[in-house]
Amino acid sequence: METLSALLYLVASVCFIMALRGLSSPETSRQGNLYGMVGMTIAILTTLALPIVQSYWMIVLGIAIGGGIGYVIAKKIEMTALPQLVAAFHSLVGLAAVFVALSAFYSPEAYGIGVPGAIAKGSLVEMALGTAIGAITFTGSIVAFAKLQGLVTGKPLVFPFQHHLNAALGVLTILLILWLVQSNSSAALWLIVGVSLALGFLLILPIGGADMPVVISMLNSYSGWAAAGIGFTLQNNLLIITGALVGSSGAILSYIMCKGMNRSIFNVILGGFGGESAAAAAGRAGGGERGQVKAGSPEDAAYIMKNAQSVIIVPGYGMAVAQAQHALREMADLLKKEGVDVKYAIHPVAGRMPGHMNVLLAEANVPYDEVFELEDINRDFGTADVAFVIGANDVTNPAAKTDPASPIYGMPILDVEKAKTVFFIKRGMAAGYAGVENELFFRPNTMMLFGDAKKVTEEVVKSME
Amino acid sequence: MDQTQLSNRIVELKAQLSAASQQIDALAAQAAALGHPAAAEAASHGSFFITGLTVLVLACFVGYYVVWRVTPALHSPLMAVTNAVSSVIIVGALIAAGPAGFGFSKIMGFLAVILASVNIFGGFLVTQRMLSMFKKKGK
């Protein structure tokens, strides 16, 4: 029996690996997701068949309640709200890890790790680590959710001695773990829960709204490590494998996002980016050879694009906020009818989570083979007639290449300035998230289209028809 | 003559075999004695830690290579599906909620089952929704 369940867990692990493997291309991805579901079903059924599981009503009830909630949320959620959703889901994994660890502490015999009050020391360490990471994931994700949902300001919240406080809490957690291992005391475990909850909260507070892609990826990673930690407690390889997969996936995504902003992970975690220091630098950057801002009308834009040969569309977070992706695709369809070559260029950190723009464009029925990543399309701007920047700013700012004093210096950018004409759809002249003014706005070949991204695009569409 | 020799040899072998089986029984009894709860748990825990660590490190490598092959366009579904998959922690929750009777651990398990189920259903479904939107040109 034990061998059989171990084998089935192994099958489930392989299914999960296949699920991630499927995502290497959109064609295989749906099959991959199916593998994931099969793996999860196997894992659950195998566990239910274990001799320790004897009463089922509570389990069935729990799955029904949770499954019902999950189903409704997944069906109703707007694709623009995806980052919040993922953040909220991460918090659930974190909290579940804490609950499982607590129940393992109070009923260790169910998991075969000792008797209450005399749990194996190694298990206590693993349990405490799982609890701490789970609790940090829980509150951290809640803060991330609140910031993304706009419940609290997206601005970084910084106060004096913040980092000292966080470091102190971190050290305190380690001391509490040592105490727990020495004494098997339940007070120690509850204190670990409390301190870690506070730590997760404080860790994410100072991180600004546009750094959320990194934060979400990081929390994704944490939720994996929490699962792996619990896997050690339960002596279950499936949990360890899955936790490691998720953990490394989140870590890689964080790394990609950091590279997209040319910042180190420590810089992001320490937070405070886009605050006052950046604003000061912005004042200087804008000072130089400032030309005239040329504001255009949607009719002008429609005329120029219709007569262009190639147009590259650069969507950013502004497009997501305004829900402009459907209008944008209509515009692209009309252009294609006129024989214009239309492509989309996506910066790695566009949007509020990795790959967010791709999903929004796909939602608007943009074929994925028209959508390109930065390194694949950047040289095409030189031959493009029009770059149509909608709701993006910092990711096109040439200061990243030319001005070493700029906070975004060194960040890879989309070379929109190489196109013959650049349109910027923006609500106003406000600086981007990094607080840096974009010198492109003042170039002679740039035309600003002021207004809500969706409205402006709709007007462009109207004047094309 | 050959036949008697052969039968003698068989009798000899039989005796040896029974002696060996007695020895095995004795060894098994010793092993069982050694495997008394406390000792067994401590021993199995120590060895599991190394096994688990091995599995963890190898799985990290698998994860590393698999995830780098994921196309950047599908990074959002990747996050959603890893989130769903990490709810495999439900395994721990089921063990907590499974035993007969009622108590604190069972309540914790029950709550964890709910949370993980939200994630499993929500995560896989939202991934499916996203993936179904990715279409090729002209389809």
CA–CA gap between residue B89 and residue A363 (Å, rounded): 31
Position A135 confidence tier, pLDDT thresholds 50, 70, 90: very high
User: How many residues are listed for chain A in this entry?
Assistant: 465
CB atoms inside a 10 Å sphere around CB B127: 30
Question: So where are chain A's domains?
Answer: 1-76, 86-281, 298-464
CA–CA gap between residue B121 and residue A63 (Å, rounded): 9
**Does position A344 have pLDDT exceeding 80, yes or no?**
yes
Q: Is A247's CB within 8 Å of B124's CB?
A: no
CA nearest to A440, candidates A457, A412, A419: A419
Beta-carbon pairs below 8 A across chains A and B: 399
Complex confidence, ipTM: 0.88
CA nearest to A197, candidates A282, A98, A83: A98
The mean pLDDT value of chain A amounts to 87
CB atoms inside a 10 Å sphere around CB A104: 29
Q: Residue A119 forms beta bridges with which residues?
A: A114
CA A98 to chain centre: 23
Q: Distance between the two ends of chain A, CA-based, in angstroms?
A: 69
Burial of residue A152, with CB atoms counted within 10 A of its CB: 0-12 exposed, 13-18 middle, 19 or more buried: middle
> Percent of chain A, pLDDT > 90?
49
| Per-residue pLDDT at A242 | 95
DSSP secondary structure, A407-446, as one string: TTTT-----GGGSSEEEEEESSS---TTS---GGGGSTTE
Contacts of B82 (CB under 8 A, 6+ apart): A20, A220, A224, A245, A246, A249, A250
**Which residue among B121, B131, B137 places its CB closest to the CB of A30?**
B131
Phi, psi of A339 (to 5 degrees): 85, 15
> Percent of chain A, pLDDT > 70?
94
- Residue A383 structure tokens: 């031959």
CA nearest to A101, candidates A53, A51, A135: A135
Which residues of A participate in catalysis according to the annotation?
394
**Does position A101 have pLDDT exceeding 50, yes or no?**
yes
CA–CA gap between residue A418 and residue A377 (Å, rounded): 12
**Closest Cα in chain A, distance from residue B16 (Å):** 34
| Per-residue pLDDT at A227 | 92
If one looks up domain A298-464 in CATH, what number appears?
3.40.50.1220
CA–CA gap between residue A164 and residue A53 (Å, rounded): 46
User: How do strand A118-119 and strand A114-115 relate by DSSP bridges?
Assistant: antiparallel
- Residue A309 structure tokens: 């040969």
pTM, two decimals, is 0.84
More confident residue, A351 or A281: A351
Q: Looking at residues A9-37, what average pLDDT do you find? A: 94
Q: Is B86's CB within 8 Å of A246's CB?
A: yes
| Per-residue pLDDT at A428 | 76
A235 sits in the region (left: phi over 0; alpha: psi -120 to 50; else beta) called left
**Closest Cα in chain B, distance from residue A105 (Å):** 8
